[in-house]
Structure 1
């Protein structure tokens, strides 16, 4: 089993939901966590609980993405883990979706993953180790009505991570994709914690545990892909 004690982990979208749960769990396992999100106030609270570093940033901005990596290296001196969790979505019929909404979703879900990986990969390759985990979605493997834009972004994110996996494997760097089903979070402006969601959705901590499972695989093992659903979801 891989011990992540003292490994440096960047977690994007760390202010809420899956990112927050992941940052807290990795810190409990002894990792040094760099918490990244646009919401500075919520981010500081998570960073305080993890005894980590808060770096407010827009992952879709190249300067911000590079600054996250620079700050992590300056503060901790190394990098080991990147969890690309930041994501947005909205759902409507294709003809009702504005081009600006397409841009917003692709900027965060696809460009954000691209820019964070681009900033991290040279350092991981140089040290000959490291692990990138993308929190994608089960809709990277299926389509549904009103999900053309969000689904397209997740298909694109999945392709990016799959290609990167082939590029960096020979350098000792792992790339894993986790595909959650329904999760009880603030995603798409939902309010988590409803009695119905308690029965039908995964909890953010469930996905955090999946991240831990993937990271703690033995050094000679890479878990390429992990699909996880609530038992009640018909996939």
Structure 2
């Protein structure tokens, strides 16, 4: 029997990257999956990727929604319950380093950018956790929050708002994990390092070729990634699946698993960016 047979999962931010890989993996191992994102075309690509993995169409629920809006959150939950009847797993993957509307960088970014960063990377997780809580209590379910090594403890001068939001997410996850474990709900966190999703390059305005070169270059520098390569989304998805699998990880509660190829143990990339970052 597949390890997620009879499980129902919601994966936010699943229109590409880590979210897409997680949705495909969970579904291919038996889960019924709700995928969601704001871009209908990219979300359809995810749906097709799930179906290509041999998953029955009836096991996929595709919802175009804005995870930062109450209506989007409610639609996501209600449609999952209507189609599948329960919720066992919530993967809070949606997140982004939102560019400043006025082109400001580092600590000069506008307060509106700061607020949007926290709304997406933290507030949406808090709201989804509150809304899904009664359903997960019924199933003794799992929550996996996707953070980032940007959360620290090393400084991130090139992206202080994003890194602060992720650091807050980590602490919220720890606190909520202890609060909800008495109801049988487990919460854990995955902290990815560099992952070939385009996430680290879109904010820098790089095209596809430049993006590929960036990830290749980072992976080739042992002071940046000791493992010698950037992660693929599938590498992070496998960690998410491990934490979502109660049989495999039942005694892990409120913990953060860092999946970064060793980057945070050498911290060389911080100096790399500090040296090359443009001044305002």
Fold similarity call, TM over 0.5: yes
- Superposed CA deviations along residues 67-116 of structure 1, whole A, max 9, x for unmatched, are 1011100000010000000011057220x201221122111101111121
Corresponding residue number in structure 2 for 1:214: 243
**Cα RMSD (Å):** 2.2
1:203 aligned to 2:232? Answer: yes
Q: Does the 8 Å contact 2:8/2:33 carry over to 1?
A: yes
SS at match of 1:89: coil
Structure 1 residue aligned with 2:158, among 131, 134, 146?
A: 146
1:83 aligned to 2:96? Answer: no
Tell me by how many angstroms 1:124 deviates.
Answer: 1.0
Which runs of no fewer than 5 residues in structure 1 stay unpaired? none
Q: Does the 8 Å contact 1:72/1:79 carry over to 2?
A: yes
Bigger RCO (CA 8 Å, 6+ sep): 1
Q: Does the 8 Å contact 1:128/1:171 carry over to 2?
A: no
Give the Cα–Cα distance (whole angstroms) in 1 for the partners of residues 246 and 141 of structure 2.
13
Corresponding residue number in structure 2 for 1:129: 140
- Superposed CA deviations along residues 153-182 of structure 1, whole A, max 9, x for unmatched, are 011111221111011101111101011111
Corresponding residue number in structure 2 for 1:194: 212
Write the mapping of 1:50-61 to structure 2, written as runs, cut at 5 A: 50=50, 51=57, 52-61=60-69
Structure 2 residue aligned with 1:111, among 120, 123, 128?
A: 123
Corresponding residue number in structure 1 for 2:15: 15
Structure 2 residue aligned with 1:155, among 167, 174, 195?
A: 167
1:179 aligned to 2:191? Answer: yes
Corresponding residue number in structure 1 for 2:275: none
- Superposed CA deviations along residues 158-214 of structure 1, whole A, max 9, x for unmatched, are 122111101110111110101111111121515566144143421111100111122
1:230 aligned to 2:238? Answer: no
Instruction: Please identify runs of 4+ aligned residues in structure 1 that moved more than 4 A.
Output: 190-193
Greater CA radius of gyration, 1 or 2? 2
Tell me by how many angstroms 1:225 deviates.
Answer: 1.9
Q: Does the 8 Å contact 2:193/2:263 carry over to 1?
A: no
Q: Does the 8 Å contact 2:18/2:234 carry over to 1?
A: yes
Corresponding residue number in structure 2 for 1:41: 41
Q: Does the 8 Å contact 2:98/2:116 carry over to 1?
A: no
CA gap of 1:117–1:191, structure 2 versus 1, over 3 A, is farther
Which runs of no fewer than 5 residues in structure 2 stay unpaired? 51-56, 100-104, 220-228, 268-280
Corresponding residue number in structure 2 for 1:168: 180
